[in-house]
């Protein structure tokens, strides 16, 4: 009886919470009032995902999000361009938590906004390089008098674990194909190979050149002079930054607000009306740009590729293939655009998704839009598309595979563990963590890696209409920027998601069409219920990160991810931390 009463009380509390949250959301929506002659404040304080799956009909939408949707940010800027109440945009942002291609997409949307004749101003207490790259689109840029501007060129750091393995006795046995497949290099060596150093240098140089070209247009400084400024640290003080033309002036924030008031032509008695991006999204989400009975499906595939159902943070064949099938079988959907933002992962899952896209192609066009990264398994699922779009700063390619098998033989010996196996047949005994890898087992995994690599090559060759030899010459696990990928024929066009959608409409002769976004993630209420059970685990993760620091926690996550990898991997050859 007590258990029944307890359940009834719990359900009662849940319903009360539901109505309280629903009323709060409703009142929030009603309270968002945007006055005429307002400035949209672009503050990007949360990590940015391509898609968070918000549903306007869900009263819990947004309450539990830990990221912002790039699709909503871009739509808000596009809506503001035509909104008579919005006269300009203020970029007030530090430490943008987005990839380079996402930042580039936002910057392009802001460039388009400026075509309306409205102003964009930017202010920073400090500008990291991505922050500066974004803000350089502004008509005028200002920096705090004691602020910092980081402008020195891109770099990347790769961590190596060979000594750690020897000291701990925990070893990663690796089998790879591709001289550039350096995802496993940190476990084999204490220093970077020439091949890996070459590809990283060429990659970040291409990304830097794309950034410099756009900053050059925004600030009216030649690329040559921008590189001289970077080499001489010509923006390291506020005075240097102003003298070199990286910023327009050095101001306190109240002085910056005076600049905004002047741009709005306000009298001294007038209020400065601003609206935060997250509030403006409520208005912009109600303004649908694309309308029509015919639809273009946009399927977002974001995160590592893992075998299983999948979700907002990783790609699984379950949720993605359901979305592909739903879009394929919907008669109103005339074309499918797959948005890929993934460093790869499980080769098996990649091939399962590739096959479902091949079946979809038999019924309607499939176009791919690449985000920050569409490498290895991310490129695998994209390769068969009718047309592929990438941003200039997209990281793609990495056509190669590897296997990683953990082994703790040395640790087991040190702590006194001995494992003995008994089997009925020659190969019936599974691989043991506690025994050295046998030559027969290594050969079996190597055969699997080679077979998967050949399959990968054939998928790309078929999709890109190349010979296997041609694909192999640019494969070997090598990563490329979007610019280089287009030159090599790995992608068709440089452009963003909107460009891919426009191409889908062109291929299907659609003048009017709506957009249907997939997949459907769990509702805010469903996630709320899950959070009651998962709060403890999440609290532990946050506690560990706070105690050891973000950088050390990132290393732990990388090592844990390597230990959990199952099967042959089609994964980007390194964790690229661009600074």
Give the residue numbers annotated as catalytic, written as ranges. Answer: 181, 376
* 3 state DSSP class of 554: helix
Q: Residue 250 corresponds to which tokens in the numbers above?
A: 């050095």
Q: Which stretches does DSSP call E strand in 128-170? A: 140-149, 156-157
Q: Residue 565 corresponds to which tokens in the numbers above?
A: 């990898």
Rounded to an integer, what distance in angstroms lies between the CA atom of residue 327 and that of residue 495?
23
Rounded to an integer, what distance in angstroms lies between the CA atom of residue 108 and that of residue 113?
9
What is the number of alpha carbons within 13 Å of residue 387 lying toward its C-beta? Answer: 22
Rounded to an integer, what distance in angstroms lies between the CA atom of residue 230 and that of residue 529?
50
Provide the pairing of β-strand 295-302 with 514-518: parallel
Helix %, strand %, coil % of the chain (to 5): 45, 20, 35
| Pick from 296, 286, 568, 274: nearest CA to 450 | 568
Q: Which stretches does DSSP call E strand in 435-518? A: 479-481, 493-494, 514-518
Residues 113, 106 contacting (CB under 8 angstroms): no
Cβ-Cβ contacts under 8 Å for 88 (sequence gap 6 or more): 39, 40, 118, 119, 120, 121, 260, 263, 264
Buried b (16+ CB within 10 A) or exposed e, 462-472: ebbebeeebbb
Q: Bin 95: left if φ > 0, else alpha if -120 < ψ < 50, else beta.
A: left
Rounded to an integer, what distance in angstroms lies between the CA atom of residue 442 and that of residue 434?
15
Q: How many CB atoms lie within 10 A of CB 254?
A: 7
Which residue has 């240098």 as its token pair? 201
Rg from Cα positions in the chain: 26
What is the number of alpha carbons within 13 Å of residue 108 lying toward its C-beta? Answer: 20
**What's the length of the chain?**
579
DSSP 98: S
| Pick from 256, 451, 485: nearest CA to 370 | 485
Q: Residue 190 corresponds to which tokens in the numbers above?
A: 């204490």
Which residue has 């050095």 as its token pair? 250
For the chain, what is the largest distance between any 2 Cα atoms, rounded to a whole number of angstroms? 90
End-to-end CA distance of the chain: 61
CA angle (45, 47, 51) in 5-degree steps: 120
Q: How many CB atoms lie within 10 A of CB 100?
A: 27
Backbone angles phi, psi at 180, to 5 degrees: -95, 0
């Amino acid at each position: 009886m007590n258990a029944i009463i307890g359940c009834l009380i719990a359900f009662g509390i849940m319903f009360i919470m539901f109505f309280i949250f629903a009323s709060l959301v409703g009142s929030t929506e009603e309270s968002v009032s945007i006055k005429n002659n307002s400035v949209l404040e672009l503050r990007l304080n949360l990590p940015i995902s391509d898609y968070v799956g918000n549903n306007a009909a869900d009263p819990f939408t947004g309450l539990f999000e830990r990221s912002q949707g790039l699709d909503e940010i871009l739509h808000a800027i596009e809506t503001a361009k035509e909104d008579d109440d919005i006269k300009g945009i203020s970029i007030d942002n530090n430490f943008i938590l987005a990839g380079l291609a996402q930042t580039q997409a936002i910057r392009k949307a802001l460039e388009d906004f400026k075509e309306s004749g409205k102003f964009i101003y930017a202010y920073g207490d400090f500008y990291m390089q991505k922050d500066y790259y974004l803000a350089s689109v502004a008509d005028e840029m200002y920096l705090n008098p004691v602020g910092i501007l980081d402008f020195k060129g891109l770099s990347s750091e790769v961590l190596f674990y060979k000594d750690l393995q020897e000291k701990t006795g925990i070893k990663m046995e690796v089998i790879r194909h591709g001289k550039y497949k350096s995802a496993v290099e940190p476990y084999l060596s204490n220093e970077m190979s020439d091949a890996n150093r070459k590809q990283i240098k060429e990659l970040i140089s291409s990304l830097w050149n794309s950034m410099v070209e756009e900053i050059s247009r925004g600030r009216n400084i030649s690329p040559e002079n921008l590189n001289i400024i970077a080499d001489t640290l010509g923006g390291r003080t506020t005075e240097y930054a102003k003298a070199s033309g990286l910023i327009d002036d050095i101001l306190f924030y109240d002085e910056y607000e005076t600049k905004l008031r002047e741009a709005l032509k306000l009298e001294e008695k007038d209020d400065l009306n601003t609206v935060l991006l997250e509030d403006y999204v409520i208005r912009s989400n109600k303004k649908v740009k694309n309308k029509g009975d015919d639809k273009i499906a946009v399927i977002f595939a974001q995160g590592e590729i893992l075998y299983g159902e999948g979700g907002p943070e990783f790609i699984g064949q379950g949720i993605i293939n359901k979305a592909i099938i739903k879009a394929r079988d919907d008669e109103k959907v005339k074309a499918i655009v797959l948005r890929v933002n993934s460093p790869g992962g499980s080769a098996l899952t990649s091939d399962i998704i590739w096959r479902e896209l091949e079946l979809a192609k038999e019924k309607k066009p499939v176009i791919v839009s690449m985000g920050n990264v569409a490498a290895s398994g991310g490129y695998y699922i994209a390769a068969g598309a009718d047309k592929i779009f990438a941003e200039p700063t997209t990281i793609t390619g990495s056509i190669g595979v590897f296997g990683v098998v953990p082994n703790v033989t040395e640790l087991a010996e040190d702590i006194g563990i001995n494992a003995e196996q008994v089997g009925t047949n020659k190969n019936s005994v599974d691989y043991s963590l506690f025994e050295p890898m046998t030559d027969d087992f290594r050969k079996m995994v190597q055969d699997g890696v080679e077979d998967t690599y050949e399959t990968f090559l054939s998928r790309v060759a078929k999709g890109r209409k190349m010979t296997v030899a041609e694909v192999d010459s640019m494969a070997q696990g090598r990563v490329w920027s979007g610019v280089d990928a287009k030159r090599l024929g790995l992608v068709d066009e440089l452009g963003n998601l909107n460009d891919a959608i426009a191409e889908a409409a062109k291929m299907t002769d659609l003048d009017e069409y709506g957009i249907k976004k997939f997949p459907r993630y769990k509702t805010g209420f469903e996630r709320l219920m899950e959070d009651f059970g998962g709060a403890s685990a999440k609290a532990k993760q946050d506690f560990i990160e706070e105690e050891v620091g973000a950088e050390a926690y990132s290393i732990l996550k990388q090592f844990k991810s390597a230990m959990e990898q199952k099967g042959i991997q089609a994964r980007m050859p390194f964790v690229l931390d661009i600074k």
